[in-house]
Every structure is written in structure tokens, then in C-alpha cells.
């Protein structure tokens, strides 16, 4: 989906200008209503995580879901995040390996790894997201989806990368 056209996104996806969304208590896919960036981030983490667990390509997994009546609508920002993480995964994993003190990629909890991948992409390549927001959002997702120790781990790794983000942007 790297070359997803604007017409395709407009026809099949919820517009990126959406600000909020209310969860549906019935557990059924949500129909209509805007999707917040926070929700889009969480959805991107879920897709990146699922792809890693299945040994599948995240963009392919995402493409299978876009426009499906079986799943909730997928926000433009979710697509941007998943495509960005997939395109830059090698660089992201290299940075994570360098800055996750005492942890290898293979040893990281899979949910934390998905959160970190999305967080690093936002930190370095999402020009409209301030660094503290990218870190805070990733920590929030870790609090919600992972272990009690995960938020501190995610904050530490992204904080180290964030402290040199300007230099990294210049060379990546």
C-alpha cells in the first residue's frame, strides 16, 4: 500500500481530519464516527504486532483489512504509521538495538517491540508530531497493552533516541 492513492483512501477509509471516536460497547465493529490519532496509533501497534506474530508483512495485512465490513474502519494515520514502520523497519530495529540497553530485538516483549517501532517512526519521520507527544503516546499505549514494567522501558528507549533525534533526522 506504499503507493496508496488519495482517491483510494478517500473512498475506503475514514478521513484523517477526524478527531474523536466513541468505543462501541457491543464489541461489534464501529461504524461511522471519527477516529482519533491516539486510536490510530494503537491500531497501528496492533497491526505491527499481529504481523510480527504471524511472520507476515504488516502492509499486506493492513491491505487485507482496508474496506472490509468485518473490521472497524482504518484511519489514514494508521495506514501512514504501518507503511512508515514497514518501510523503515531495518533502520528502526538498528536504532532500537543500539539504544535498548541490555536488550536485543529478539528478547524484547513483542508488544513492547511493536510500540517501540511505531514510536520511533513517529519520533523521527512524523514531522507534524512533536517529540514529547510521540514518546508520551507510545508510553500510554504500553500502559494499556503491555506489562507494568513496559511504560518505563518504552519511555527510556524512546527518551534516549529522542535526545539525539535531531542528529538522527539529519542522517536518516
Domains of the chain: 88-171 (1.10.940.10)
CA pair distance 169, 64, nearest whole angstrom = 32
C-alpha pair distances (Å), 171 with each of 96, 135, 164, 167: 16, 21, 11, 7
Q: pTM of this prediction? A: 0.81
* Per-run averaged pLDDT (10 residues), the chain, 172 residues: 39 38 44 83 98 97 91 94 98 97 96 98 97 98 97 98 97 92
Condensed to tens digits (0 to 9), the pLDDT of residues 67-112 reads 888 988 999 999 999 999 999 999 999 999 999 999 999 999 999 9
Instruction: Measure CA of the first residue to CA of the last residue in the chain; give whole Å.
Output: 22
Measured CA to CA in angstroms, residue 148 lies from 7, 8, 97, 142 at distances of: 42, 40, 22, 9
Return d(Cα 75, Cα 95) in angstroms, integer.
27
Given CA atoms 51, 98, 149, 24 in this order, what sign does their dihedral have? negative
Amino acid at each position: 500500500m506504499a503507493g496508496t492513492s488519495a482517491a483510494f483512501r478517500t473512498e475506503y477509509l475514514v478521513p484523517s481530519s477526524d478527531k474523536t471516536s466513541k468505543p462501541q460497547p457491543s464489541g461489534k465493529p464501529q461504524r461511522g464516527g471519527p477516529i482519533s490519532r491516539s486510536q490510530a496509533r494503537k491500531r497501528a501497534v496492533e497491526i505491527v504486532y499481529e504481523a510480527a506474530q504471524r511472520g507476515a508483512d504488516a502492509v499486506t495485512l493492513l491491505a487485507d483489512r482496508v474496506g472490509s465490513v468485518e473490521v472497524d474502519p482504518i484511519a489514514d494515520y494508521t495506514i501512514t504509521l504501518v507503511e512508515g514502520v514497514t518501510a523503515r523497519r531495518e533502520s528502526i530495529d538498528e536504532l532500537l538495538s543500539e539504544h535498548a540497553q541490555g536488550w536485543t530485538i529478539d528478547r524484547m516483549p513483542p508488544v513492547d517491540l511493536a510500540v517501540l517501532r511505531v514510536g520511533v517512526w513517529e519520533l523521527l519521520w512524523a514531522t507534524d508530531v512533536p517529540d514529547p507527544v510521540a514518546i508520551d503516546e507510545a508510553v500510554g499505549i504500553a500502559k494499556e497493552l503491555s506489562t507494568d514494567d513496559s511504560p518505563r522501558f518504552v519511555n527510556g528507549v524512546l527518551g534516549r533516541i529522542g535526545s539525539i533525534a535531531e542528529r538522527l533526522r539529519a542522517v536518516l
